[in-house]
């Protein structure tokens, strides 16, 4: 008989030999995919900004893994999270390293099928699969995980991963604009602060928290600057900007900020010299829906930007993209209670995740999109949903009605964590872009 | 001016030749394992009928799932774009064009200028497409072309579920065990398929005139069911399976003029 502590609630027994073999194969595929993605991004824009080189390097998983490993040897703790509601400022203030651990590996989702049915969202299945074979360095290096109870998939994912790691579940209220919701969420923030302190052994003091908030505000500033640069004629391809955005999820925050500012400097110069990443009349597209995660789940941006006729992604409404860092924490007084209040409000109120509803529905998401469409001059929207992603799938009907009224074409693109449907998706994406080009012709 | 359109479909390749924008001949071949060869055959057949050779053609536009494999083509157009073009050419008041082929069903919405403004494709499943009728004809031991006329003899409808070909087939087996008559089962199959297609079209909006093209438009059983489910009249051209190729050939006309 196994002891209670060894007994896994969900995870099946899997031999070390199989783990090793699968990890080896999938890691090799992953490295190939990373190299291929970057090669294709370079091909799409042969005159790609020089500052992109840093982001290409940090996108390889290995570089950052080594750094985090070294930091851990010096006693630093790593705290992983799945959803964007995890208050990274508190993690940074305790001198720990925040990393997002959602998996973008297609092959890992097939392993997840051994634990949960195939109807479950592939982001969840893939993260389970990644854990089974220790595929994700960031998940492996995490000393604890923050699991925010957002959609059904994420709620149970945390529970499943607790077979391996301490998991701190945070209850997220579904109605965000009510005083009782904010009260509950503030209590959750305080509780997770205690857990972070206990794990790291570092008491979070005002000075450290202020510094963490300020460092994150600086990152937000660089992040927003990059998105602002995508408003005009194309100075950067969507995939390149998306890669920059994604690397924030695992990179060192100060260095990421510095490198992003450097990229923006380069882009500003290019804009002045009218050096464009693609012809300025290329149809401008926004993507919204299920998060798209590096490296495998890069097929939609690739299809759009390599299509004939070509499109360019100038904005997104994705929690793996522009929603990552768009909104800063706004602090009036730098007291501990005010800072915690500001953090609670930022993480709750700024989110446009479809797990929320209220009397007027998830109005904030609609408004975000309408603002983007207007300000970023977007001509069409791709609404991307993976099978099993119920909340995004359900909100489509409403989004479509709103966009129909303002005469913005939107296409519902459903897919899976697989490479095999790229041909079918290409047909649809190209028809959509053809439609947008025809409109531009008139 | 001679232009050609080739539609490299999943089951067959169709070709249409236009002279100054008017259809002068058609050709068809089974896609099989070599769609490029099938395309050559279809175009060759159409050219032979028109007493022309390849060098007489000013521009060839390809469409269909295999369009990138078309030999000798000068350009491509999406299947949805080709459907829209052909639908509005055949019926100037067409605003909704439904195309049901062997493996895929789709619908295109056009504005008053006949320009495609929206489209929808069946959800990665063959239950709303021609392959479903083929599978069900096998289950009923009926020839494919007899399915439609047979279904029209049904006196009532017995609902089945067509969420997928496999489940659909097991539902059909249940009807067989219940000793339902073949006409009733055939009608149930077309109703289920038309249900899938019509709910897809409803998501897009049913704006008359509604035009049905694609190989399945030749099946009287499906057409009857679709009209019932949509509640509007459905216009069908004389050669519905050539609509994609026609659309492509019309696009070719525009592209010759541009050059």
Asked if the C-beta of A428 comes within 8 angstroms of chain B's C-beta atoms, the answer is yes
Residues B87 and B97 in one domain: no
CB contact under 8 A, B78 and A414: no
Q: Within this chain, do residues B84 and B98 fall inside the same structural domain, yes or no?
A: no
User: What confidence tier does A305 reach under pLDDT thresholds 50, 70, 90?
Assistant: very high
Which of A8, A148, A251, A423 lies closest to B79 in space, CA to CA?
Answer: A423
Q: Collect all residues of chain A within an 8 Å Cβ-Cβ radius of residue B118.
A: 409, 435
Interface membership of A439 toward B (CB under 8 Å): yes
Contacts 24+ apart (CB under 8 A), A367-374: A368/A317, A369/A286, A369/A288, A369/A317, A369/A399, A369/A402, A369/A403, A370/A402, A370/A406, A372/A286, A372/A315, A372/A317, A373/A286, A373/A403, A373/A406, A373/A408
Is the CB of B119 less than 8 angstroms away from the CB of A421?
Answer: no
Q: Do B186 and B150 belong to one domain?
A: yes
Looking at CA atoms only, how far is residue B239 from chain A in angstroms?
A: 24
Asked if the Cβ–Cβ distance from A435 to B81 is below 8 Å, we say yes
Report, as an integer, the average pLDDT of B113-130: 80
Per the structure, the count of domains in chain B is 2
Residue in A closest to B75 by C-alpha: A308
Percent of chain A exceeding pLDDT 90 equals: 92
- Same domain (yes/no): B178, B248: no
Are residues B146 and B74 both part of a single domain?
no
By CA distance, what is B81's nearest residue in A? A431
> Are B57 and B154 in a shared domain?
no
Q: Is the ipTM, as predicted for this complex, more than 0.90?
A: no
CATH number at residue B80: 3.30.420.40
What is the model's pLDDT at position A442?
A: 38
CB-facing half-sphere around the CA of B6: CA atoms within 13 A: 35
Say yes or no: B151 and B86 in one domain. Answer: no
pLDDT value for B163: 61
Q: Is the pLDDT of residue A356 over 90?
A: yes
Summarised one tens digit per residue, pLDDT across range A115-154 is 999 999 999 999 999 999 999 999 999 999 999 999 999 9
**pLDDT tens digits for range B145-189:** 999 999 999 988 877 766 666 667 778 888 888 888 899 999 988
Query: Do both B164 and B222 map to the same domain?
Result: yes
SS3 state of residue B208: coil
pLDDT over 50 at A1, yes or no: no
pLDDT at A360: 82
In which domain, by residue range, is B165 found? Answer: 93-236
Same domain membership, residue B190 and residue B69? no
pLDDT > 90 in chain B, percent:
70
Distances (CA, A) of A206 to A2, A254, A327, B188: 45, 20, 21, 71
**What local confidence, expressed as pLDDT, does residue B169 receive?**
76
**Whether residue B259 has pLDDT greater than 80:** no
Interface check for A421 against chain B (CB to CB < 8 A): the answer is yes
One domain, residues B111 and B43: no
pLDDT digits (tens, 9 = 90+) for A254-275: 999 999 999 999 999 999 999 9
Based on the domain organization, do B104 and B183 belong to the same domain? yes
Q: Which residue did the predictor score with more confidence, A308 or A209?
A: A209
Q: Per-residue confidence at B124, pLDDT binned at 50, 70, 90?
A: low
Is residue B117 less than 8 Å (CB to CB) from chain A?
A: yes
CA separation for the pair A411, A413 (Å, rounded)? 6
Is there a single domain that holds both residue B157 and residue B194? yes
For B83, the closest chain A residue by CA position comes to A431
> In this predicted structure, what is the pLDDT of residue B127?
66
DSSP-derived pairing of the beta strands B210-213 and B96-100: parallel
Which residues in chain B are contacts of A430 at CB distance < 8 A? 78
* Contact state of B79 with A435 under an 8 Å Cβ cutoff: no
pLDDT, tens digit (0-9, with 9 covering 90-100), for A283-294:
999 999 999 999
Task: Share the mean pLDDT of chain B.
Answer: 91
pLDDT category of residue A438 using cuts at 50, 70 and 90: confident
**pLDDT tens-digit map of B198-251:** 989 998 999 999 999 999 999 999 999 999 999 999 999 999 999 999 999 999
Q: Give the DSSP H/E element, type plus range, for residue A269.
A: helix A253-272
Measure Cα distances from B239 to A93, B22, B32, B189, B213 in Å.
71, 14, 22, 24, 8
What digits encode the pLDDT tens for the residues B8-31? 998 899 999 999 999 999 999 999
Nearest to A427 among B65, B113, B123 (CB): B65
Quick: pLDDT tens for A22-79: 999 999 999 999 999 999 999 999 999 999 999 999 999 999 999 999 999 999 999 9
Distance of alpha carbon B247 from alpha carbon B90, whole angstroms: 10
Residues of A in contact with B115 (CB under 8 A): 438-439, 442
Following DSSP, what letter does each residue of A124-190 receive, concatenated?
HHHHHHHHHTT--HHHHH-SEEEEEE-SHHHHHHHHHHTTTS-EEEEE--S--SSHHHHHHHHHHHH
pLDDT at A441: 52
């Amino acid at each position: 008989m196994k002891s209670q502590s060894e007994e896994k609630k969900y995870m099946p027994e899997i031999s070390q030999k199989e783990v090793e073999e699968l990890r080896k194969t999938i890691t090799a595929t992953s490295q190939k995919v990373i190299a291929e993605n970057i090669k294709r991004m370079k091909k799409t824009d042969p005159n790609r900004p020089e500052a992109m080189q840093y982001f290409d390097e940090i996108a390889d998983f290995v570089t950052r893994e080594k750094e985090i490993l070294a930091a851990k040897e010096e006693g630093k703790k790593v705290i992983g999270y799945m959803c964007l509601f995890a208050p990274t400022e508190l993690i940074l203030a305790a001198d720990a390293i925040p990393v997002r651990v959602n998996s973008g590996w297609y092959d890992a989702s097939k392993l997840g099928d051994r634990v949960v049915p195939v109807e479950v969202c592939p982001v969840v299945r893939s993260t389970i699969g990644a854990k089974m074979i220790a595929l994700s360095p960031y998940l492996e290096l995490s000393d604890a995980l923050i699991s925010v109870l957002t959609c059904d998939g994420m709620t149970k994912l945390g529970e499943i991963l607790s077979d391996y790691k301490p998991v701190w579940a945070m209850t997220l209220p579904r109605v965000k604009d009510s005083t009782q919701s904010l009260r509950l969420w503030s209590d959750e923030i305080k509780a997770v602060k205690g857990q972070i302190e206990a794990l790291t052994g570092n008491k979070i003091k005002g000075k450290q928290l202020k510094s963490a908030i300020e460092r994150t505000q600086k990152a937000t500033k660089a992040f927003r600057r990059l998105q602002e640069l995508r408003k005009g004629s194309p100075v950067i391809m969507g995939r390149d900007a998306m890669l920059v955005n994604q690397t924030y999820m695992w990179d060192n925050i100060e260095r990421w900020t510095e490198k992003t500012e450097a990229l923006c400097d380069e882009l500003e110069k290019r804009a002045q010299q009218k050096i464009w990443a693609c012809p300025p009349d290329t149809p401008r597209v926004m993507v919204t829906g299920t998060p798209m995660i590096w490296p495998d789940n890069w097929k939609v941006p690739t299809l759009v930007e390599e299509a004939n006729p070509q499109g360019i992604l100038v904005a997104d409404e994705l929690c793996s993209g522009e929603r990552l860092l768009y909104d800063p924490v706004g602090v009036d007084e730098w007291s501990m209670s005010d800072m915690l209040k500001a953090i609670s409000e930022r993480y709750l109120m700024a989110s446009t995740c479809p797990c929320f509803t209220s009397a007027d529905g998830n109005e904030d998401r609609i408004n975000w999109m309408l603002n983007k469409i207007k300000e970023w001059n977007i001509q069409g929207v791709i609404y991307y949903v993976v099978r099993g992603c119920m909340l995004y799938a359900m909100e489509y009907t409403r989004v479509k009605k709103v966009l129909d009224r303002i005469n913005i074409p939107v296409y519902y693109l459903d897919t899976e964590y697989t490479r095999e449907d790229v041909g079918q998706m290409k047909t649809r994406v190209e028809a959509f872009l053809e439609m947008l080009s025809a409109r531009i012709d008139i | 001016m001679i232009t050609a359109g080739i539609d490299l479909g999943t089951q067959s390749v169709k070709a249409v030749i236009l002279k100054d924008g008017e259809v002068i001949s058609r050709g068809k071949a089974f896609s099989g394992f070599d769609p490029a060869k099938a395309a050559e055959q279809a175009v060759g057949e159409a050219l032979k009928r028109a007493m022309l050779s390849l060098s007489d053609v000013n521009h060839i536009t390809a469409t269909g799932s295999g369009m990138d494999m078309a030999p000798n083509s000068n350009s491509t157009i999406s299947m949805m774009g080709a459907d829209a073009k052909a639908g509005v050419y055949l019926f100037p008041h067409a605003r909704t064009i439904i195309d049901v082929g062997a493996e895929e069903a789709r619908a295109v919405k056009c504005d008053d200028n006949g320009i495609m403004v929206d489209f929808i494709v069946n959800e990665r499943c063959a239950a709303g497409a021609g392959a479903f009728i083929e599978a069900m004809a096998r289950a009923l031991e009926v020839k494919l072309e007899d399915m439609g006329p047979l279904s029209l003899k049904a006196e009532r409808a017995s609902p089945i579920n067509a969420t997928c070909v496999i489940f659909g087939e097991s539902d059909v087996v249940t009807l067989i065990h219940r000793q339902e008559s073949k006409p009733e089962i055939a009608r149930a199959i077309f109703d289920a398929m038309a249900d899938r297609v019509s709910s897809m079209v409803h998501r897009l909006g049913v704006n008359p005139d509604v035009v049905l093209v694609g190989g399945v438009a030749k099946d009287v059983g499906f057409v009857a069911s679709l009209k019932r489910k949509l509640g509007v009249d459905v216009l069908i051209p004389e050669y519905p399976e050539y609509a994609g190729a026609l659309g492509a050939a019309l696009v070719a006309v525009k592209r010759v003029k541009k050059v």
